[in-house]
Chain A
Amino acid sequence: MAQLEVDGLSVDYGAVTALDDVSLVAATGEITTVLGANGAGKTTLLRAISGLVRARVGSVRLDGHELSRLPVEEVVRRGVAHVPEGRGVIEELTVDDNLRLGALWRRRGERPPVSEIFELFPLLAERHRRLAATLSGGERQALAIGRALMARPQVLLLDEPSLGLAPLVTAQLMSRLAALSTSQGLTVLLVEQNVRTALSIASRAVVLNLGHVVVDDRADIVAADADLRRHFLGF
């Protein structure tokens, strides 16, 4: 069981309110997608969950345990792994080192072998000794997600994984994610600009507008609602 609950979360950047009283639940083993235009607060939401920005008020709980007062480096130890926007692979390190880094906080005997990730993303295996700087966009995304999985998280926060990827690569990535979530019972909170694809794999969708939750419903219902799509999602 790994249910992530966000309750009444508000974040300010100086005088600007980025999130205002945001609440949502990401249920165990499901993909919950967070949609909305640029500046709606999607990235801020993920950053607040992992502690990179501090909320003014509100709480973030994993299975009832409060996360919102923890330092960033502790949040992953509680089982929440965050793949930041722009992929966040460390270009100066090799693929191997990037992956190893993901599990380094665990005790020596409890670290999953890097080969586990290579089974999931075979492309990475061929490039495992190369610097991450030499990888293509899709490979980098695979590396970033693989590195997060090295922590054996219960919850995966993904910030625009499809950004800059070719449609075919995006489709492959999304189907991988869907499979992972089902097979490992992984709870996924997926922030996406690519609304169609995100809705197709998610079971629940939350739409943010100017820091507010405007919709929180089943993904298929959101996908079918023409008004909603026109107003907030632009297709």
Chain B
Amino acid sequence: MSRFLDLTLGGVTYGAIYAAVALALVLIWRATRILNFAQGAMAMFSTYIASSLVERHVSYWVALVVALASGALIGAVVERVVVRPVERRPPLNAVIVTLGLLVAIEALAGIIWGGSLRSFPSYFSQVGLVVGRTRLAFSHFDVYVVCAVIVVLLGFVILFRFTDVGLRMRASAFSPEVSRLLGVRVGRTLTLGWALASMVGALAGVLAAPKLFLGPNFMDAVFIYGFTAAVIGGLESPLGAVIGGIVTGLSLSYVGGYLGSSLDALGALVIVMIVLMVRPRGIFTPIAERRV
């Protein structure tokens, strides 16, 4: 029983990190119908920037803010320079472009910071919390990770539901031409969407780095599981992305714990297959109503 609890708690933290990556993917998918395969690499780059600052004895929180800002900036630049020319073109163009970007950013990080792995501080203790006389597989850092992702999710819910910017973003995503006729500056709105999404991606990078080791491709696996989470959630709903993330984190934790850690990736694949067989549009996408 305690093993089950440990695996569950361990899965929740990783799930939160996958959820953050999935959120970033969903935001960009909703806005531009593009799957950003470079999301993990962009996050890695921001994490390196944070890491360089921390090594120069800058406070963790300042480094975090800089990482988020750099994430937003990278997202905006990528949208304007790389993605805009392939928007409204065949989807394969965007796939190739973001895959190319993934390779380019990882190579660039290797050139700047070298290929060897480095550790990244977690700020909060990674020693398990003690409840009664048992030590849980859940640390202060894990609490921080889960809370950070919940705060981000709530932030997006508020942004989309209750603000003018959110309404503009939703309208631009659903119907760009009509939005422009209504005076929405759709181009600017899309850039903002990419910036926000990449900021969440950068957060995922900074949260994942202490649990893994920082290296040019340390986000590759996290990206794949985040992608799994986004697909489970249906690619449309931020809440779906987060629940998809937790489901993925838990499943991988159980598969790794009970069946052996070499089966992780296979586990993710099986989940995606099952979800796509049962609900091809993902769990949280409403089944499209018949259009009159």
Contacts and interface: CB of A to CB of B under 8 A. Distances in A.
B57 interface: no
B291 interface: yes
Interface string A97-113: 10011101100000000
Contacts of B291: 91, 133
B181 interface: yes
A90 B180 contact: no
21 contacts: A71-B180, A73-B180, A73-B183, A73-B184, A74-B183, A81-B181, A84-B178, A88-B178, A90-B171, A90-B174, A90-B175, A91-B291, A93-B171, A97-B171, A101-B167, A101-B168, A101-B182, A104-B164, A104-B168, A104-B182, A151-B183
Given A90-B174, A90-B179, A97-B171, 14 more contacts: A74-B183, A76-B182, A81-B181, A84-B181, A90-B171, A97-B167, A101-B168, A101-B171, A101-B179, A101-B182, A104-B167, A105-B184, A133-B289, A147-B182
A72 interface: yes
A92 interface: yes
Given A97-B167, A104-B167, A73 B185 contact: yes
B44 to A, nearest CB: 34
Interface residues of B, dominant DSSP: helix
A151 B184 CA distance: 12
Contact of A88 (B164, B175, B292): B175
B55 interface: no
A104 B174 contact: no
B181 A50 contact: yes
A91 B180 CA distance: 16
Contacts of A84: 177-178, 181
Nearest to B164: A104
A96 B144 CA distance: 38
A82 interface: yes
A52 B184 contact: no
Instruction: Kindly list the 5 A-B residue pairs having the minimum CB-CB distance in the complex, ordered from nearest.
Output: A105-B183, A76-B183, A72-B180, A88-B178, A92-B174
Nearest to A80: B181
A77 interface: yes
Contact of A104 (B175, B180, B184, B289): B184
Interface string B157-195: 000000010011011001101111111111000000000
A50 B177 CA distance: 11
A105 B186 CA distance: 12
Nearest to B168: A104
Contacts of B185: 73
Interface of A: 50, 52, 71-74, 76-77, 81-82, 84, 88, 90-93, 97, 100-102, 104-105, 133, 137, 147, 151
A153 to B, nearest CB: 10
A77 B180 CA distance: 11
A85 B40 CA distance: 41
A98 B274 CA distance: 37
B119 to A, nearest CB: 45
Given A84-B177, A133-B289, A133-B291, A92 B170 contact: yes
A165 B42 CA distance: 50
Contacts of B174: 90-93
A88 B178 CA distance: 6
A115 B40 CA distance: 46
A76 B179 CA distance: 11
Given A90-B174, A92-B174, A101-B171, A82 B181 contact: yes
A227 to B, nearest CB: 37
B271 to A, nearest CB: 28
A101 B174 CA distance: 13
Nearest to B188: A73
A76 B181 contact: yes
Contact of A151 (B167, B171, B180, B182): B182
Contacts of B186: 73
A81 B185 CA distance: 15
A203 to B, nearest CB: 26
Contacts of A77: 183
A100 B180 CA distance: 14
A137 B292 CA distance: 9
A123 to B, nearest CB: 16
B170 A52 contact: no
A78 to B, nearest CB: 10
A135 to B, nearest CB: 9
A223 B171 CA distance: 41
